[in-house]
Amino acid sequence: MTPPAGTITIAQKTVSRLGFGTMRLTGPGTWHDPDDRDTARSVLRQAVHTHGISHIDTADAYGPHTVEHLIRDALYPYPEHVLIATKVGLVRPAPGQWVPLGNPFYLRACVEGSLRRLRVDRLELCYLHRIDPQVALDDQIAVLQALQDEGKIGHIGLSKVTPEQIRRVGKDLTVAAVQNVFNTTDRFDDAVELCAELGIPYVAYRPLDAGNLARVNGPAAPLHWLLEQGTHIAPIPSTSQPRHLDEIVAAVQDGPA
């Protein structure tokens, strides 16, 4: 099966350059269960088994915990070529609310919880979902490094970070991937160029601006714009509808609009 938009190496695994973001496989406000759990599981299987998408991105905060359970139910045992990436470090006080929490004990508990929910012994790629400004960055990174040393994390990524933060963390560990918002509306991010310089895969989340960029002319033009910004860029569009996923995959296979 030919991967959509070719391949990229992330966390030492060759995966489809077009990934699948799972944030929308929940209820409103990225909270609790979706209306139809069977459809959510079906979309995940469709992404992997029908379309050859082998980069699945999630987070413990989606639900919270909902999507990690859905991924396990839909895809376990995971095909060897599939990368399941998750993120830790945000708490969810209520629907639509996201609060960074980088307490080392909390981050450790998050990783342990994700291991159980995904039913794996190691998180191949684990992002710090947000850097908590109230906790020393060294402490947040140190606990992730400790978990990596223990074999519970394979590779460490960063989400929603600046070039300065990437360089700072990169002094202590190998940054496996950076995940920031990047699309034709939010098109200015200095981290894109830095990641190209350092050889770090840049995972573009909200590549269709929560669907806004696809509503008029479809997803082809915004996705191809992203792919043309550098071979290190891997977009992770998200949808909860099988038809929309078909349209997204067809858009990158057929060429720009």
139-152 per-residue burial string, b: 16 or more CB within 10 A, e: under 16: ebbebbeebbeeeb
User: Which spans in the chain are helix H?
Assistant: 37-45, 66-75, 104-118, 137-149, 163-170, 190-198, 220-227, 242-254
Beta-carbon contacts of residue 149 (< 8 Å; ≥ 6 apart):
none
187-201 per-residue burial string, b: 16 or more CB within 10 A, e: under 16: eebebbebbeebebb
Structure tokens given for 181: 């918002």
Q: CB burial class (10 A; 0-12, 13-18, 19+) of residue 171?
A: exposed
Distance CA 139, CA 14 (A): 31
Catalytically annotated residues: 62
